[in-house]
Amino acid sequence: MSLAQMVAVKRPHPVAFSVFLVVAWLLLALLALGLRRGPIEDELSDRAVLAVRSHGQTGAQVSFDGRDATVHGTFPSVADAETARQVVARVSGARSVSLGSDIHIVPAVLPGVVAKPFVIAVDGGSLTVTATVPDRAAREQLLGAAAAASSATLTGKVTVDPDAAAPPVTALADLTRTLTAVAGEHKVTIMGSSVVVEGSVGDSDEVTRLGSDLLAGARKTQPAATLDNRLTVRSVASALPPVGEGTEGTAQPATGRLVGAVAEDRITFETNSSELTEADRVHLDRIAAVLRESELSVLLAGHTDTRGPRAVNEALSLLRAQTAAGYLSDRGVPAEHLRAAGFAWDHPVATNDTEAGRAANRRVEISALVP
């Protein structure tokens, strides 16, 4: 082989060499971007936090994954959290911004505003929520959260006082699930940062466990909460009915009949619809029969899945509740005994990531109320 031939063999092909150079340049660029990613995210987070805190939201934190931001922290209201999200969205470099699942809402107590007792009580299959709220909108929000938190018979003793501070509604679901998971009669009272637990449970370990779980739930909205655990251990004898007394032959209370009728089926809707199906009407007929024979008042709580704008879902959830209430009224239930409220997607009973879950969330729930 001549020298010229050897040189020709060793000379790289021009196209292959160009491709090699481009690939090498891209790899180096990606490596440099990866090394720079952490500092860029930290810089974006710092600028976003400064922007949010300049608007008075001192409890806010912001994290970035690339250019996608998540807002965390404690806020006086959902509106304040949304304002923080909008502020971050205007930060140069931010591509998308969402509220984190760890957002805590702790209403600020203004001068002259009085914190009133917020009581959640469980007795067997019944749930009683006692509270004072600043307006009717807060009342409906509280009752809707209570109805969504438990399948027990709901008694809502909620009064409106413009001078009252809003109760910690966001803690209601966790506190209710904790209480209803333990057999017996017990209640939790929250007033400001004080958490008082009363009632009876099965053993001393349950006294400690229930108290600890309730305090942890309360601290999600009131980090400085303190616990006064007044739970007692019930005796075996106290759990038994008196000799000669039983349930045979006793009339079932109206609330019990309502719970039984409601539990027979569900009232659900197609996407973007408030139209009742034939199955819904049959189900409501059974509920109407119970309500016509009693003086019960009920809350009809409308719900949606998470698709579509919030404003649309708020209107749709209310329309669903009003449609069910109108049907009951047409079947002879006094209109003054029916309260319809819409809660958009705030209280899902299933995941919104699947069609089956979304279908379950498009619903109306009916619960007994005590004014």
CATH of the domain at 302: 3.30.1330.60
Question: For residue 204, how many other CB atoms are within 10 A of its CB?
Answer: 11
Same domain for 128 and 90: no
Residues 298-340 have pLDDT tens digits of 888 899 999 988 888 888 999 999 999 999 999 999 998 998 8
Tell me how far apart the alpha carbons of residues 182 and 197 are, in angstroms, rounded to a whole number: 13
Query: How much of the chain, in percent, has pLDDT values that exceed 70?
Result: 80
Question: For residue 364, how many other CB atoms are within 10 A of its CB?
Answer: 25
Q: Output 58 or 257, whichever has higher pLDDT.
A: 257
For residue 80, pLDDT beyond 60: yes
For residue 369, pLDDT beyond 90: no
Taking a C-beta distance cutoff of 8 angstroms, is the pair 218, 190 a contact?
yes
Query: How much of the chain, in percent, has pLDDT values that exceed 90?
Result: 25
Residues 170-211 have pLDDT tens digits of 788 888 888 888 888 889 998 877 889 998 888 888 889 999
Asked if residue 27 is part of any domain, the answer here is no
**Nearest-5° Cα angle at 58, 52 to 60:** 60
Q: pLDDT band for position 275 (50/70/90)?
A: very high
Phi, psi dihedral angles at 79 (to 5 degrees): -60, -40
**Span of 59-63, 104-108, 163-167, 172-176 with lowest mean pLDDT:** 104-108
| CATH code (residue 71) | 1.10.287.4300
List helix spans (H) across the chain: 3-10, 14-53, 78-89, 136-149, 172-180, 204-218, 254-263, 278-292, 310-330, 355-361
Count of domains in the chain?
3
Strand partners, 74: 104
For residue 78, pLDDT beyond 90: no
Q: pLDDT band for position 252 (50/70/90)?
A: low
User: By three-state DSSP, how is residue 71 classified?
Assistant: strand
- pTM, to two decimals: 0.51
For residue 358, pLDDT beyond 50: yes
Taking a C-beta distance cutoff of 8 angstroms, is the pair 300, 364 a contact?
yes
For residue 35, pLDDT beyond 80: no
Mean pLDDT of 214-223: 82
- C-alpha distance from residue 194 to each of 107, 109, 197, 297 (Å): 15, 15, 10, 32
Residues 124-168 have pLDDT tens digits of 777 888 888 888 778 877 877 777 777 666 777 888 888 887 787
Task: Copy the structure tokens of residue 279.
Answer: 């199955």
Highest mean pLDDT, choosing among 7-21, 271-285, 335-349: 271-285
Asked if residue 60 is part of any domain, the answer here is yes
Same domain for 127 and 80: no
The DSSP secondary structure of 328-371, one letter per residue, reads: HHHTT--GGGEEEEE-TTSS-SS-SSSHHHHHHHSEEEEEEE--
Indicate the residue among 236, 271, 295 that finishes a domain: 236
Domain with 89, as residue range(s), is 35-105
Q: How far is CA 85 from the centre of its chain?
A: 19
For residue 10, pLDDT beyond 60: no
Same domain for 138 and 90: no
144: nearest Cα among 360, 339, 357, 352: 339
**Helix or strand holding residue 2 (H, E):** none
Asked if residue 1 is part of any domain, the answer here is no
Residue 290 pLDDT: 92
User: By three-state DSSP, how is residue 321 classified?
Assistant: helix
Question: For residue 122, how many other CB atoms are within 10 A of its CB?
Answer: 24
279: nearest Cα among 327, 230, 346: 327
